[in-house]
Amino acid sequence: MAAKKQEKSGPKKRKQIPGTKSETYSSTSKKPKLLDSKPSNPRSNDFKKPSKPFKQREPGLDSEKQVPLSKREGRLRAKELAESRKKKRKRHYNLEQELAHLWEKMRRRNISKEERSKLVSEAVEKMKGKIPEIACSHVSSRVLQTCVKYCSQAEKDAVFEELQPHLLTLACNTYAVHLVTKMLDNASKKQLAGFISSLRGHVASLLRHMVGSVVVEHAYQLGNATQKQELLVELYSTELQLFKDLVSKKEGRLLDIISKLDLQKSSVLRHMTSVIQPILEKGIIDHSIIHRVLIEYFTIAEKFSATDVIKQLSGPLLVRMIHTRDGSRVGMLCVKHGSAKERKKIIKGMKAHVRDIALDQGGSMVLVCLLSVVDDTKLITKVVIHELQENLKDLVLDKNGRRPLLQLLHPNGSRYFTPDDLASLSLSIPSLSNKVESDTQSETKSSEVNRSGEEASGDLEVTVDEANTNDDDLHLVEGGKKDPSIRRQELLVKSGLAERLVDVCTENAGELLRSNFGKEVIYEVATGGDGGILHPILDEKLNALYEAIASLVAEPKSEESKEESKEEHILENFHSSRTIRKLILDCPTFASTLWNKALKGKCELWAQGHSGKVIAAFLESSDPKVHKLAKKELQPLIDGGILKIPETKVASGAKE
């Protein structure tokens, strides 16, 4: 209580620390001011000079002479700097206004080229010396982009020369990145090579940047094979980052580089992991250069590393990267080697995007892999098959969209899939391929392999001979446990897709037969699919399809029909005539329906041109009933030279 009273009665004193400079001042004084300043209140007259000299705060330095300034001079200098900044801002604002005014004129559509060229030259002249600053402005950067689009080559070179020292900085700017990509599009080979060389040592850091990664991807797309290699090898190893001349164009694959330079696999793996992990964590996986790095990473990754990457990619993230060739292959590897939980995430991530994925070249191959590998047919039917059914006609007529349908109708058909597509479907991760085989043999054995996964790191190359010892082993490597025929039956027939597909073919028979891509789907449907999977369940609907095609063939050959339909008769069209010919050769039921409903008694009318090949197919058929059906009417046409048919075909038909 006594202490509290003493505090109230006496003035508050600051706590003193022995040995400090504040001991020399009066406890009642405020914070000390500079000695030459005027006192702000009467009490400051009691302020006495300390016994020890006090080190004054320097008010400023003369930028030219580097000598201390007095407080008054410092204030004047600060005022001058403020005024200069104000004037600079005003000049910049005025320049922006002038450029915006020119921009409104030059971007009009009804302006002549000469007038636009004058306006562009005027704007470039005004921006000269300030282009890097203008490129970062959200207003005037658009003016600069328009100028680069329409200016002359000499002006483009001048702009590029001024921007070149700042390109790496501008590459990470939200507004300037558009200008940088446009400059790269218009750059000469020498300028592009110089820019790619300037990226050396910065590729990994730029790929971790949302904006900077766009510039690296753009340069990667524009570069030739050697320049692409230059950007890639930096992500493989620190040695390759420091000594880029170690790698030539011939060593394109990471495995070849490791074997030639005798690099340590563990060191390369650590470096690539440090590069890839931050990129995956930030979700910057849209670029093809990253997809290429991931493919190479899987060739050397150990089981734990590869599994970790697959877990990170499984889900909606994977949908964003399957639009490129390498991204599609990464997606297929994730489907093959992912667990049931990860496959479920991948399929659910495709929800509401199946149509767009199917229409994409790379995405369609991922769907093909899903339909060939995943055993959870109920989930695939719910997410994938139902969305395919909703857009069936568009998919059938599309080059890429038909692929998942053809995979179910005729799996891995060399007629419909290129060798590169089939090679992509057979890819596997070396360190995980053994795991897949053990999974299919026994679930207990699989758990034991997973526990000791790090003990066996896997070979650098896929042991193809071991994987392909027999057909069953090949299927095991692909990752599915269910019998392929059962899976195919559940996805195509039991899901209702086949029935809907036959209906679409019947309703649009003429359009599909004349289509370069639709003709293949309608052919597979009409023949019942590989192994006759559509028989006998859908025989009635297939007969309706045969009737629809026959009714189109039965239409009269006249000029009026051509003018009304504005298209060729079904037998005179290049695509449809060849498809109908193949159906006659491969489907006796269709051949019989077509003959009886459309061609009987009319063969002489169609004996020449594309339609002549269709008529001749009846004699080329391997089925004796079809051959016998048409021989009586066609033989006189052959004897009279009206219908031409190869002698070998006639001989083979006669023997039968």
pLDDT at 644: 80
pLDDT at 26: 40
Tokens of 538: 């859908």
Closest CA to 520 of 432, 415, 429: 415
pLDDT at 20: 44
**Amino acid residing at 254:** L
Which residues, 6+ apart, have CB-to-CB distance to 232 below 8 Å?
A: 289, 292, 293, 296
pLDDT at 28: 42
How far does Cα 602 stand from its chain's mean position? Answer: 53
Tokens of 587: 């489907």
Instruction: List b or e across 30-45, with b for residues whose CB sees 16 or more CB atoms inside 10 angstroms.
Output: eeeeeeeeeeeeeeee
pLDDT at 438: 46
The C-alpha atoms of residue 127 and residue 95 are separated, in whole angstroms, by: 8
Q: How many CB atoms lie within 10 A of CB 583?
A: 23
The C-alpha atoms of residue 127 and residue 159 are separated, in whole angstroms, by: 9
Distance between first and last Cα of the chain: 127
Instruction: List b or e across 243-274, with b for residues whose CB sees 16 or more CB atoms inside 10 angstroms.
Output: eeeebeeebeebeebbeeeebeeeebbebbee
**Amino acid residing at 329:** R
**Amino acid residing at 375:** D
- The answer, yes or no, to whether the previous bond of 536 is cis (omega within 30 of 0) is yes
Q: At what angle do helices 325-337 and 340-349 cross, to 10 degrees?
A: 140
**C-alpha dihedral over 117, 193, 293, 250, to 10 degrees?**
140
Residue 210: phi and psi, rounded to 5, are -60, -40
Residue 68: phi and psi, rounded to 5, are -60, 145
pLDDT at 386: 96
Find the helix or strand (DSSP H, E) in which 478 lies.
helix 471-478
- Cβ contact 528:409 at 8 Å: no
The C-alpha atoms of residue 185 and residue 188 are separated, in whole angstroms, by: 9
The C-alpha atoms of residue 557 and residue 126 are separated, in whole angstroms, by: 71
Give the DSSP letter string of 239-296. HHHH-GGG--TT--SHHHHHHHHT--HHHHHHHHHHHHHHHHHHT---SHHHHHHHHH
Which residues, 6+ apart, have CB-to-CB distance to 562 below 8 Å?
A: 568, 569
pLDDT at 45: 45
- Cβ contact 166:206 at 8 Å: no
**C-alpha dihedral over 344, 350, 354, 359, to 10 degrees?**
-110
DSSP state of 164: G
- Cβ contact 480:501 at 8 Å: no
Q: How many CB atoms lie within 10 A of CB 464?
A: 11
pLDDT at 245: 60
pLDDT along the chain (656 residues), means of 10: 46 47 42 40 43 45 56 76 67 76 88 91 90 87 90 92 92 93 92 92 94 96 91 86 62 83 90 95 95 96 95 93 96 95 95 96 96 95 95 95 96 94 94 60 39 36 34 42 92 96 96 95 96 94 96 80 64 94 95 93 86 90 88 86 66 42
Q: Give the pTM.
A: 0.78
The count of residues in the chain is 656
pLDDT at 40: 45
Q: How many CB atoms lie within 10 A of CB 61?
A: 13
The C-alpha atoms of residue 655 and residue 354 are separated, in whole angstroms, by: 51
Under DSSP, is residue 644 helix (H, G, I), strand (E, B) or coil? coil
pLDDT at 440: 44
Q: How many CB atoms lie within 10 A of CB 315?
A: 17
- Cβ contact 253:259 at 8 Å: no
Angle at 511 between CA 506 and CA 512, to 5 degrees: 65
Task: Using the Cα atoms of residue 165, residue 168, residue 171 and residue 175 in order, give the sign of their dihedral.
Answer: negative
What stretches of 14-128 show up as alpha helix (H) in DSSP?
A: 71-106, 113-127
Q: How many helices (H) and strands (E) does the chain have?
A: 42, 0
What stretches of 530-641 show up as alpha helix (H) in DSSP?
A: 539-553, 559-565, 574-586, 588-594, 610-620, 624-639
Is residue 455 classed exposed, middle or buried when 0-12, 13-18 and 19+ CB atoms within 10 A define those classes?
A: exposed
Look-up of token digits 């989930």:
379
DSSP state of 39: P
